[in-house]
Amino acid sequence: MDHLDRPRRLSDVATSIPVLVGGFVVVTLLAIGPLQGLDHAIDGPWAQRFAPALAPFLMNVTDRVASQPVNLPVLVIAAVLIAWRTRSPRPVLLAIGAEAGFYLTGLLKLGFARPAPVVGDPSFFAGGLWDVGRVGISFPSGHAVEVVLIYGTVVHLLRDHLGVSLQRDRVLRLLWTAAVLNCVVTSFVLGYHWLTDLLGGVVLGALLLRVLVTVDRRWPAVRREPGGERQAADAVPERVVAH
C-alpha cells in the first residue's frame, strides 16, 4: 500500500501552506523582474486576432464561469444546503471565509498596482485603482483566485461535510480542474491578464484554500445528539469515504 499512498503524500507536501507561500513569493518576484519580458512578449488578444467569431463566446460564457455572479451563488447554495443537511453552521462559515479570502486578494491587487495588458506596461507599482481604474490592479488575477478558492471550497464541502463516493469525488476534482484551466486559458487568450497574473492567482487561490481546509479540519465539530446534548466530534465526518 505504500506505493499507493506515496502520490498522496507528495500531493500533500506540494499543497502544504509553507510550499504554497514560497510558491507565491517566487511567482511574485519573477513577475516583478525576470519574467516581465516574457509576459510582454507572449501577451496579446489572441482570440480576437485568430478566432474573432469565438471571442464573444469566450467573453460572455467561459470567462463568466470564474466570476462572482456565477461562483458566489454556487458557493452559497452549496453551503446552505449542506448546512441544512448536516444541521451545522460550519458550511456557511466556511463559505464566508472563502469570500473573505477573495476580498483579501483585492487588497493585494491594490498594493501591487500592476496595470493590465490593455495598458501595455507589465511593471509593478505603476498602475493603481486611482490612476487607471480597475485595469490598474492586475496581479494576482482575481478570477484565477476565485476559481481555485471558491469552487475548491464547494468541492471541500461536498467531500468532507456531505460525503461523496470515490467515483463522485474524482468527477468533482475533474470538473474543478477543468474550471481552473478554462479560467487561465480564457483570460490569457482574451488578453485580460499577463501570464504571471494568472499563475500568481492560481497559487494564491490554492494557498487560501489550504488555509481554509486546514482550519476546518483542525476545528472540532460539535454535534447535537437526539437527547439535546452537545458532543464534540472529529473534524472530518465519519461518513466521508477515503480519498
Residue 12 lies in a domain: no
* Residue showing cell 500533500: 12
Residue 149 lies in a domain: yes
The residue segments making up the domain with residue 139 are: 23-233
Residue 243 lies in a domain: no
Q: Helices (DSSP H) in the chain: which residue ranges?
A: 2-14, 17-32, 36-42, 46-50, 55-57, 68-86, 90-112, 129-132, 142-156, 166-189, 195-218
Question: Which is nearest to 9 in space by CA: 44, 19, 53?
Answer: 19
Amino acid code (one letter) for 153: T
Amino acid code (one letter) for 41: A
So what's the pLDDT on residue 243? 30
Residue 6 lies in a domain: no
Residue 112 lies in a domain: yes
Determine contact, residues 109/138, Cβ cutoff 8 Å. yes
Residue 16 lies in a domain: no
Residue 145 lies in a domain: yes
* Residue showing cell 493590465: 116
Question: Which is nearest to 116 in space by CA: 133, 103, 102?
Answer: 133
So what's the pLDDT on residue 6? 62
So what's the pLDDT on residue 228? 33
So what's the pLDDT on residue 204? 98
Could you tell me the three cell numbers for 56? 464573444
So what's the pLDDT on residue 162? 87
Could you tell me the three cell numbers for 153? 471550497
Where does the chain show beta strands of DSSP type E?
221-224, 230-233
So what's the pLDDT on residue 165? 80
Could you tell me the three cell numbers for 201? 492567482
Domain count, the chain: 1
- Report CA dihedral (152, 157, 160, 166) to the nearest 10 degrees: -70
So what's the pLDDT on residue 183? 97
Task: Mark 27-37 as b/e (b = at least 16 C-beta within 10 Å).
Answer: bbebbbeebbe
Q: What are phi and psi of 232, to 5 degrees?
A: -70, 140
So what's the pLDDT on residue 7? 61
Residue 140 lies in a domain: yes
Question: Which is nearest to 113 in space by CA: 93, 99, 129, 89?
Answer: 129
CA distance 186 to 141: 12
Determine contact, residues 75/153, Cβ cutoff 8 Å. yes
Q: What is this structure's pTM?
A: 0.87
So what's the pLDDT on residue 199? 98
Q: How far is CA 115 from CA 15, 35, 222, in A?
A: 29, 15, 46
Q: List, run by run, the mean pLDDT of 10-residue segments along the chain (243 residues).
A: 60 88 98 95 94 95 95 97 94 97 94 95 92 93 97 95 86 96 97 97 98 90 39 40 31
